[in-house]
Amino acid sequence: MQRTVLTARGLSKTYVADGVQTHVLGDVDLDIREGDFTSIMGPSGSGKSTLLYCLSGMDKPTSGSVTFQGEDIARASEAELAHLRAQSFGFVFQAASLVSNLTLFENIAVPGYLKEGRSADQTRAVAQEFIRRMDLEEVAAHLPSQASGGQKQRCAVARAVVNEPALVFADEPTGALNRANSLEVLGLLNELNAEGISILMVTHDVRSAVRGNRILYFEDGGVQGELELSRWDGCTADEAYVREREAMANAWLSSLSW
């Protein structure tokens, strides 16, 4: 049986602005299984990103618990959350959000220096390996302003996993990319998942969502449905294979009136 890497129970989030309450999450119960590639889909404004932020400790839920490695991170201090993010979590967003005055190599390496039990030389070696793996050798010494959108997002993926996290949170990681660059980034995420990194990805794109082996449909502040797929097989992922997975996902989404 698969172990659970992250668990949410009774997770709620309410925002208050000008005296008006907006309930975004309502008593969400959710288990993220170790080694899964989980995609979260749902209408715009349904709370998908808020869910991701509350699960990752980037935002505090109004109530409920988020348990990681036996600890309720919903009640952790900012210092404890910073340590957790540096050691165990990785993040990829729609915008690469690289540090503008650091080279691509430095953007990858800098968070790596926070990894406990690793020397600076080891960190540089790991960063260099990701530069090679992400096909960034030609631009490793360039600033982000000198790199393409696809190169910057591949750099962002490398930065997210340089510390060998247990779980990567990805919020629309291909939303700003063209199809070719999107496929490259998704391929990298599939490779990392095959190596044991759990991935939780918010996406509005069915073709991206079916890269995962589990899709959750989120609406009205909660999980309204779940679809289990076989694990992505990159060796046989031709157009017919992709279309078959898309057809399954679209039929399921249609049954949920989306």
The CA distance from 147 to 140, in Å, is: 9
Radius of gyration of the chain, Cα coordinates, nearest whole angstrom: 18
Q: What is the mean pLDDT of residues 94-115?
A: 95
Q: Confidence class of residue 190 from pLDDT cuts 50, 70 and 90?
A: very high
pLDDT in tens, 170-181: 999 998 899 999
**What pTM does this model have?**
0.94
Q: Which pLDDT value is given to residue 176?
A: 87
Which pairs count as long-range contacts for 224-233, CB under 8 Å and 24+ apart, including other chains?
224/42, 224/256, 225/252, 225/255, 225/256, 227/252, 231/37, 231/194, 232/37, 232/190, 232/193
* Three-state SS annotation for 178-211: CHHHHHHHHHHHHHHHHCCCEEEEECCCHHHHCC
Whole-Å CA distances, 148 to 65, 138, 139: 40, 12, 10
Q: What would the two tokens of residue 150 be?
A: 């696809």
pLDDT in tens, 144-164: 999 999 999 999 999 999 999
Q: Which pLDDT value is given to residue 258?
A: 80
CB 234 within 8 A of CB 187: yes
pLDDT > 90 in the chain, percent: 87
Residue indicated by tokens 């030609």: 138
Helices 149-161 and 104-112, packing angle to 10 deg: 10
Q: What are phi and psi of 26, to 5 degrees?
A: -130, 100
- The answer, yes or no, to whether residue 206 has pLDDT greater than 90, is yes
DSSP state string for 95-128: S----TTS-HHHHHHHHHTTSTT--HHHHHHHHH
Q: What is the mean pLDDT of residues 70-92?
A: 94
